[in-house]
Amino acid sequence: MESFAGKIAVVTGGGTGMGRELVVQLAAAGAHVSMCDLSEDRMSETAALAAAAAPASDVRISTHVCDVSDEAAMLVFRDEVLAAHDSEHVNLLFNNAGLSGGGSIVTDSRESWDRCFEVCFNGVRWGTLAFLDALIASDEGHIVNTSSVNGFWASIGPDRPHTAYSAAKFAVKGFTEALVTDMRVNAPHVGVSVVMPGHIGTSIVQNSMNYGARELTDDERELMTVADQMFHDNAPMSADDAATVILDGVLAGQWRILVGEDAVALDAAVRADPEAAYEGSMHEILFAELTAAREQLVEQLFD
């Protein structure tokens, strides 16, 4: 795919974060975009930004309230998208929606664990199945599934269980890698990419608080709100920059898209010594790799 202009794109989780930035940048490139999310208000904000960025007034932007973990709802979403664009095909599918929860299989509730897995993995599965025929009906198509660094390293620290999210993101990575061969055999004009971001400045903490399985107390909600702000503000890469990396990777035909210096460094560290991946030393190695990468970047900028 050499250009997004005139293409029909679908983005799940388009109300905030990387999903919002994907919608805006796709529209700016001349693509027609449909997004889904659980927040109509957030999607309206995204749609306004996308319309302002679009190079022409005939670029179509549509919003659809949908829970990606519900297969029936995703089929309705698919039908609404095709109707909105008066088309029998789509060209691009970004299975991007996600949230966190269910960190421990021992101490967290079954509901919290299942909710995280169902959104993060089944959302990708149902999205792919819902839009597969429409992608195959296109002259050129691409499926882009968002995994995570937690799709190849199931940890956020030696003392913090992270089981549901990691299991789901490993599943997304494996599913997408298997799709590479499946599409090559059965629909060679449909490309496939798995996206593995590191720490990106998104609203995943806030979304997990709003749409997770567990009702929070007022004190917990207050703490989570602070955590969300810290997660967003302390991220080494913005959602805007992350979306640019993803879209550049799609145009370059990359099936494996690492997003962020931390993702690149962690991938290299895990591959170099997989047996040590869950030892405390891995965190020291990662920190050293990140420090070296940032120093190299500074030298390049001011050389």
Query: What per-residue confidence (pLDDT) applies to 256?
Result: 98
Match domain 8-259 to its CATH number in 3.30.450.20, 3.30.420.40, 3.40.50.720, 3.40.1190.10: 3.40.50.720
Query: What per-residue confidence (pLDDT) applies to 101?
Result: 85
Query: What per-residue confidence (pLDDT) applies to 160?
Result: 85
pLDDT, mean of each 10-residue run, the chain (303 residues): 96 96 98 97 97 96 98 98 98 95 92 95 98 98 97 88 95 98 98 94 55 58 52 73 97 97 91 88 63 50 44
CA distance 221 to 81: 35
Return the domain boundaries, the chain.
Answer: 8-259, 264-303
Query: What per-residue confidence (pLDDT) applies to 298?
Result: 44
Structure confidence by residue, pLDDT tens digits, 249-280: 999 999 999 999 889 989 998 999 999 888 87
Of 93, 72, 68, 98, the C-alpha closest to 7 is 93
| Buried-exposed string 152-175: b where 16+ CB fall within 10 A, e elsewhere | bbbbbeeeebbbbbbbbbbbbbeb
Which entry of 165, 170, 175, 231 is annotated as an active-site residue?
Answer: 165
Based on the residue annotation, tell me whether 165 is a catalytic residue of this protein.
yes
Query: What per-residue confidence (pLDDT) applies to 233?
Result: 60
| pTM score | 0.87
Q: Which DSSP helix (H) or strand (E) runs through 166? A: helix 163-186
- Helix 17-28 × helix 239-251 angle, to 10°: 50
